[in-house]
Structures are given as structure tokens and as C-alpha cells.
Amino acid sequence: MRITVLGAGSWGTTVASVLTRRDHESLIWARGSETADEINAKHSNGRYLQGFPLPPRLRATSDLAEAAGHAELLVVGVPTGAFRATLERVKPDLHPWIPVVSLSKGLERDSLLRMTEVIKEVLPGHPAAALTGPNLAKEIMAGMAAATVIATEDLTVATEIQRVFRRGLLRVYTNHDVIGCEVGGALKNVVAIATGIAQGLGVGDNTRAGVISRGLAELTTLAVAMGGEPTTLAGLAGMGDLVATCISPHSRNRHVGEQLGRGRGLDDILAEMGQVAEGVKTVHAAVRLADRHGLPMPITRTIHRVITGDITAERAYAGLLRSHPAGHESEPG
């Protein structure tokens, strides 16, 4: 199959590599010609995957029209802030009816839409799916075992996409609950910032475990309010992705939180990273969704106040401990 992956960041490049090793004719689109040239000539992507050789058969281009025209399956791994605009640009050159798979975990800030909803809006008639789960790019590139979920309402389409992605130690499951899978993938980044702050402050493993557990309760409550199924959030797209993102030193969102906990400013942290930490943007949309559904979501709201500069990271943790009495564990908050 001819597959195009849009976005040559760490995860997009990893997915393109996996697909190439499955003997698909994979083409990756890089925004910069320098990255495309490096992938083609040196079979590497030094900025995002330093030290990991790429398959020699993987081709790259910085020509978006070429990338779109190549695709029998389109995989979109650009940041959520550029997601809609990128789809608009590929639309004229895209073959009709081909499936479109989102790798991007977040929410559109203004519309509050999930990425599969953006796909359906911009590319009507194309089956939309999301690939999500505890998938740290460098571990997959290193050949470590991992599990992921392909989520789309049509399980026939999901099964076909599952066959495309399945390879070696990468175990691919299907799920019809797109809402639950996408909300889990988006909101875990916010919780990862919170657990990173805990790490930076040195408040202890008990505190981090509490934040992860109550964070899972928050994202489950929101997903269900939006129409998702609670069992989804107990699986790979919820708890699995949340744990990996909150504990891994490879997690960008955890890194942001850790640096905030050490007293650094957000702008300096993001400038130094040179990569997108989706939780920084997602938290704004998450708070608006919490308001829409009348949900307290104290962890999300507290991280929003940290990100907007309303409170310090240290004050945030003092506030989380004293903000309101704890109720039954099954209740949010």
C-alpha cells in the first residue's frame, strides 16, 4: 500500500518507519526541505530521533502536493495547532474516500473539536480514525514491545487499518469508542504536566500516584460526559497512555511540568525544547469543556492557572491539597 505520513517529528517518523518495515511504500512529508533531504540521503532524523537509523526504503518530501497524491492511506502527525490548515492544503490533491488516521493527541483550541472531528469537517467522505495509546517513539524505534489502539466507529475499517500497522512487537487493537480514545489521549498530557511538576518539586511518589489516579478520574468523567465509554479509559488509550506519559523521562509534557516545578518560566522551557508539548495548548480547551459540562476537574483547572501564569507551580500543589474536602472516590475532584 502507498502510505503518506504528514509530519516528520519523532512520532510521525517512527510510524513511517514501522510502516516501511511492513513493506508498505511509505512517504513522509517534512515541513523543511533539510529534514526531507537528511531522511533521503542519510536515513536519519537527527533533530527528533538522534541515533536511530531509518529504513533505507523510507522516502521523504517537503512537497505537500506530492505527499497527498501519493497516499492510499493518509496518516497525519502534525501538531494540533497546524492540523486543520494542513488538511486544507492537502485536500485538492488527495484521492477520494481514502482513510485518514490522526496521530495527534489534543483538542482544537477554538472549536474544541477532536482531531477526527476536524478530519470529518475538512475532508468529508474520508473515513476518520485515531491511533493512540502508550507509544513512546524512541522505545518503539529501539524495538521494544508496545501496544496501541486504532479507533474508528466502523470496525471493518478499523480492522483493515489494524492489518496495515501491525508489525513485530507492536500489538494493535481496535476500538469503536473514538471519543473515549481521543479524550484520553488529549487529557493525559495535562495530567502529565501535573505529575511533572510533582517531580520537579520533589513532593514524593505518593503524591505523584495520587495525581495520576485522580487525573484518570478527571479525564474519564469528561470523556463520559462527551459520550465516551468509561471502560475505554481503563485501557490503553486512557490508563496505559496516562501512565507512560506521566512516568517516562521521554515525555515532553512531563518534562514541561518538571521544569515548571523547578521554578523555570514556561516560555524559556518551550523555547529550549524546540518541540510541541500538546498539554500546554490542550489545557485551555479542556477547561472550556469542563465548563460546558459542569465538571469541577480541579487538576486540569489548577494546571491551567499555572500555564496562564496565575499561580506558581509550588502554590498549585498546596492548593490541590487544601482546595476542597475529598468525597467518595467514585466522584470527580
* Binding site, annotated residues: 10-11, 31, 48, 105, 133, 137, 188, 241, 251-253, 276, 278
Which residues contact residue 331 at a Cβ distance below 8 angstroms, ignoring those fewer than 6 apart?
none
| Pairing of the two strands 73-76 and 100-102 | parallel
Is 188 one of the annotated active-site residues of the chain?
yes
Measured CA to CA, the distance from residue 135 to residue 87 in angstroms comes to: 24
Catalytic pick among 91, 120, 188, 281 = 188
Measured CA to CA, the distance from residue 44 to residue 50 in angstroms comes to: 8
Count of alpha carbons within 13 angstroms of residue 34, beta-carbon side: 2
Measured CA to CA, the distance from residue 190 to residue 212 in angstroms comes to: 11
Alpha-carbon distance values, 321 to 116, 206, 218, 326, 333 (Å): 36, 13, 16, 10, 11
| Pairing of the two strands 128-132 and 146-151 | antiparallel
- Measured at the alpha carbon of residue 79, what is the angle toward residues 61 and 299, in degrees to the nearest 5? 160
Query: Binding site for NADPH: residue ranges?
Result: 10-11, 31, 48, 105, 137, 252, 276, 278
**Among candidates 286, 280, 103, which has minimal Cα distance to 187?**
286
Q: Would you please indicate which residues are annotated as catalytic (active-site) residues?
A: 188
